[in-house]
Structure 1
Amino acid sequence: MKIYGVVGYKNAGKTGLMERLVTEITARGFTVSTLKHAHHTFDVDHPGKDSYRHRHAGAHQVLLSSRARWALMTELRENNELPLADLLKQLDPVDLILVEGYKRDAHPKIEAYRAETNHPILGKDDTTVRAIASDCTVDVTQPVFDLNNTKAIADFILSEVGL
């Protein structure tokens, strides 16, 4: 499977870019899965629901299933967060996995950058950042794309991974 990342600071436009890339790339006939890193505790379950009660009773894994979808939740409890490589093994084979976050991992990435965030550009010091998608002019050695030019960004990513 091919892997490509989207990184950037908070409010840089990562999630919007991910969403547009999934739409664009799947419209071209490729299968795409996504993996998103969360920097905080999150919950996809709701208090009072049976699956929530199972997890809080101590279940290591809870699998929810219906005609529409299934979801597997695994509690880490006091264990460390899994490395990206281990998480990728959990996904079914597809043409491309787009990863949001995991900026310190070694896979190729595009950085989403918005001037209003006033953060440094990650790609200036990170060779795994292969391009910048920005809403302003930036002084970098990598290719720079307009943050909203999803077609050009998708073309670049697909070329980079050989699809």
Structure 2
Amino acid sequence: MSDALRYPFPVLGVAAWSGTGKTTLLEQLLPLLREKGLSVAVIKHAHHQFDVDQPGKDSYKLRSAGAAPMLIASRQRYALMQETPGQDEPDLDSLLALMVPHHPDLVIVEGFKAWPIPKLVLYREGVGDPAILNDDWAQAVALTGESPIPLAPTMTRLDLNSSEEIARWVTEWADQQCRTLA
């Protein structure tokens, strides 16, 4: 991990091509990781414009009027919205800094394939370029079958269809990373 991305928690990217099932896998993994006692934060990269507040609502009106950032809070949740005009891509380092006060045991980053962070790479046959399996930051790969390209003998291979196996690996990986951070 680069010095710029040093945080008091491990950061694991989940990298795959669109259509591989990243979000579906995370929906299965998060409850399993919580059962194993891990507090997990997630940062998701979106490739499109999006709004989390609705037109006509006060938060939308205030953000549209220039509130930067706009924080809306209730008893049940809060959301911080910040406009980022002129920014080509989100800055992962800045987003990770937002996680520090929440003290997660692990931050999973969905997307941000090009960032130099440890990754769990997912590959489903016929979806995207298999070259993604050669990521220098890959810690493990989860596949649905045989790898279409040779993998390093030290690479941990996981079954993409076994969320239990992947959760076990993530937990062990996060524990090992926490020991090195201490």
Q: Same fold (TM over 0.5)?
A: yes
* Contact preservation (8 Å) 2:123, 2:130: no
More helix by share: 2
Question: How far apart in 2 are the matches of 1:121 and 1:67?
Answer: 46
Task: Give CA-to-partner distance per residue, 1:23-59, whole Å, 9 cap, x none.
Answer: 1111111111111011111111111111111111122
Q: Which residue of 2 aligns with 1:136?
A: 145
3-state DSSP class of the match of 1:15?
Answer: helix
* Higher mean C-alpha displacement, 65-74 vs 132-141: 132-141
Aligned match for 1:101, one of 104, 108, 111: 111
Q: Give the counterpart letter for 1:85 in structure 2.
A: D
Q: Which residue of 2 aligns with 1:50?
A: 58
**Long gaps (5+) in structure 2:** 1-8
3-state DSSP class of the match of 1:116?
Answer: coil
Q: Give the counterpart letter for 2:144 in structure 1.
A: D
* Contact preservation (8 Å) 1:13, 1:113: no
Identity over the aligned pairs, expressed in percent? Answer: 37
Q: Which residue of 2 aligns with 1:59?
A: 67
Question: How far apart in 2 are the matches of 1:121 and 1:81?
Answer: 23
Normalised TM-score (structure 1): 0.91
Task: Give CA-to-partner distance per residue, 1:82-137, whole Å, 9 cap, x none.
Answer: 4211110101111111110111111111111111325324022x111122112221
Q: Give the counterpart letter for 1:110 in structure 2.
A: L
3-state DSSP class of the match of 1:18?
Answer: helix
**Runs of 4+ with deviation above 4 angstroms:** none
3-state DSSP class of the match of 1:90?
Answer: helix
Is 1:23 paired with 2:36?
A: no
**Long gaps (5+) in structure 1:** none
